[in-house]
Amino acid sequence: MPHTLDITTLPTLDLSLFEGTAQQRYEFLENLRHAARDVGFFYLTGHGIDSHLLKQVQDHARQFFALPEQEKTAVGMINSPHFRGYNRAASEITRGQPDWREQFDLGAEREALPLDAESPLWARLQGPNQWPAALPELKPLLLEWQQAMTRMALRLLRAFAQALSLRADAFDQLYGDKPNEHIKLMRYPGQAANASQQGVGAHKDSGFLSFLLQDQQAGLQVEVEEGRWIDALPRDNTLVVNIGELLELATNGYLRATVHRVVSPPAGSERLSIAFFLGAQLDAVVPLYPLPTALLREARGPASDPLNPLFRDVGWNYLKGRLRSHPDVARRFYADALMPAAPARKTANA
């Protein structure tokens, strides 16, 4: 493991090597395991997502944010019990402070689940997206990108399984036919030097894998050791990938969920980024995977915030994060969950 002082930039991995020669495949899996353990972040090339599709997604995201305010607020998240839709800057909260970005959240396009008195609260999370009437081409484009990203992300998860000496399909049972796919379009307005610089506050992602498509404006920073941040500078046709807390939990801390943040761009500029988060099915329970002895000796144990513990139950964990980040939606649709006691069988990550 390299000393963190030696890490000054994110490692770069080429996913196409996973399908290369036996030697290329071996080296890719070794590099994947080390990158995910030592840093928890890496650049991904050779991902197979068409560059034209990536550009279209970025162009249409810009078109969405350029819509008149009334067109965007017509699809406001406050209308959605599924936490889908648009939020103005300062609407989402990270560590108690507002994030200075406007954003549009989407999930898998599915019908809402039938609910009764016995339904878990997280069952309300599944449901349809909201789509802007003024930009009809956005829906088919983003759903196409979502499907392409899901296929690629599941392929990468199979690589992770093999890098950890698990069966290639070790994670498959967690995803089934309804993985928790989450897209977030984000626009960071420029801020004066004396204004808040919190584009997004320091945090860890809660799911399994996160992918970020950046424009040319820097801002993403990764905490490689306590108090030392490095820039994850944008690169063409390259995704930034990071480990989520549930994957850290599943590997007893062998894989690393790393704190990161986004610093606001300077006044007169803006930053556009598009995130794709892959999570397990909402009804899944994350096990502790049996790693080989040699890897277990290097596992550090998961490092969850004791004030915000993780649940192994995916739906409860995901709902908890949504309630904390979007208190206005929580008050409107989840008043009965604002002071939840975790069900007795739920195990928290200490």
pLDDT at 262 over 80: yes
Give residue limits of the domains in the chain.
4-337
pLDDT at 142 over 50: yes
- Asked if 135 and 262 count as a contact pair (C-beta separation under 8 A), the reply is no
Name the CATH architecture for the domain at 4-337. Sandwich (2.60)
pLDDT of 346: 35
Interval 179-219: pLDDT, tens: 999 999 999 999 998 888 899 999 999 889 999 999 999 99
pLDDT of 340: 47
Query: Quick count: other Cβ atoms within 10 Å of Cβ 308?
Result: 15
Residue-wise burial string across 191-202, b where 16 or more C-beta atoms lie within 10 A, e elsewhere: beeeeebbbbbe
Q: Degrees (nearest 5) of the Cα angle 188, 191, 195?
A: 125
pLDDT of 77: 98
| DSSP label at residue 165 | T
**Which parts of 137-257 are beta strand (E)?**
180-189, 198-203, 209-214, 220-225, 228-231, 239-243
- Asked if 106 and 181 count as a contact pair (C-beta separation under 8 A), the reply is no
- Asked if 248 and 303 count as a contact pair (C-beta separation under 8 A), the reply is yes
**Rounded to whole angstroms, how far apart are CA atoms 44 and 22?**
20
Structure tokens of 54? 């990536």
Interval 73-128: pLDDT, tens: 999 999 999 999 999 988 888 878 889 999 999 999 999 999 998 999 999 999 99
pLDDT of 19: 96
Three-class secondary structure of residue 113 per DSSP: coil
pLDDT at 2 over 50: no
Kindly report the length of the chain: 350
pLDDT at 341 over 60: no
Least confident of 82-91, 235-244, 271-280, 298-307: 298-307
Cβ-in-10-Å burial (0-12, 13-18, 19+) of 28 comes to buried
User: Between 297 and 65, whose confidence is greater?
Assistant: 65
Cβ-in-10-Å burial (0-12, 13-18, 19+) of 173 comes to exposed
Using CA atoms, how far residue 16 sits from 218, 274, 279, 281, in Å, is: 26, 22, 23, 27
Q: What is the DSSP string of 171-196?
A: THHHHTT--EEEEEEEEEE-B-TTS-
H or E segment and range at residue 226 = none
Average pLDDT over residues 288-310: 79
Using CA atoms, how far residue 338 sits from 15, 307, 324, in Å, is: 42, 15, 9
**Residue among 264, 263, 246, 266 at smallest CA distance from 255:** 246
H or E segment and range at residue 348 = strand 348-349
pLDDT at 242 over 90: yes
CA end-to-end span of the chain: 25
**Residue among 88, 93, 263 at smallest CA distance from 193:** 263
Query: Quick count: other Cβ atoms within 10 Å of Cβ 303?
Result: 17
Antiparallel, parallel or unpaired: β 41-45 and 12-14: parallel
pLDDT of 3: 46
**Rounded to whole angstroms, how far apart are CA atoms 224 and 11?**
12
The pLDDT confidence band at residue 5, using thresholds 50, 70 and 90, is low
Residue 292 has phi, psi (to 5 degrees) of: -60, 155
